[in-house]
Chains A and B, each alone.
Chain A
Amino acid sequence: MSDPLIWLDQVHFQYAPDRAVLSDCSLRVHAGDRIGLTGAVGSGKTSLLRLVVGLVRPTAGRVEVFGRTRTRESDFHEVRRRIGFLFQDADDQLFCPTVAEDVAFGPLNLGLPRDEVRQLVTQTLADLGLAGYEDRVTYQLSGGEKRLVALAGVLAMRPEVLLLDEPTAELDGVAAGRVLDILSTLPHAMVVVSHDSSHLARIAHRRVQLDQGRVISV
């Protein structure tokens, strides 16, 4: 088997000294893996995703991404460029006033030339069925549209792996269906957090559960 893209090796993580969230937690994500991650509220699903991109650091254990151990903030710059993270609340992610600017935010940060970025924005929006949304104002979009635009912002950076935190949370059936349709056609390796097992069944190949700070197979 090839080297894992993401390897959390016996990771410990806690917010407060007496409140361990993850303890001795290990997870490997290989190319082509589509992992569904479940677990009770507060079991550390979001924390696990945040550890991978270095938004929080483990108190013990090792985070290895793309074959290198990552410890410092600067180690994670490359990780964040190559891993797309979709937040649970799209309002956290869509901070630019217009859709085009928000989708362009990541590519511009990568230093791509403006013409290329503009093309990338149009292409990414069209791929997600959002053609013509460029000048829409982000806070006026519906919940489902917000989610898809946030996804467009992530995909426009051409990531190799996707971390999706509750991609269908707070969406109605139709909007959730549309998001799931799109996610199921994406070729990326991904880790999807969700409470809804029928939703996970449509996207994930493998199911794991967080239980008392550890990852266990289901």
Chain B
Amino acid sequence: MILYTPLSESDIFPSSENAYKNRECINYNGKMIIADKTDDGSYQMVQLISTDPQDYLDQRYIPGTFLS
């Protein structure tokens, strides 16, 4: 299939809602974190929401890490 359109690919083929169903906003160590819930019930970090720049240098809040 060849598409010729000014629309972006995601407009024509919207990603399924299920892909983001597991995304939650949680409180972890007093920080607001957006995380994906994995099948085994643990959380994998997606984004840290904080105004403290030092939080972003903290090894514990690197996106992709599993929160215990």
* Same complex: no
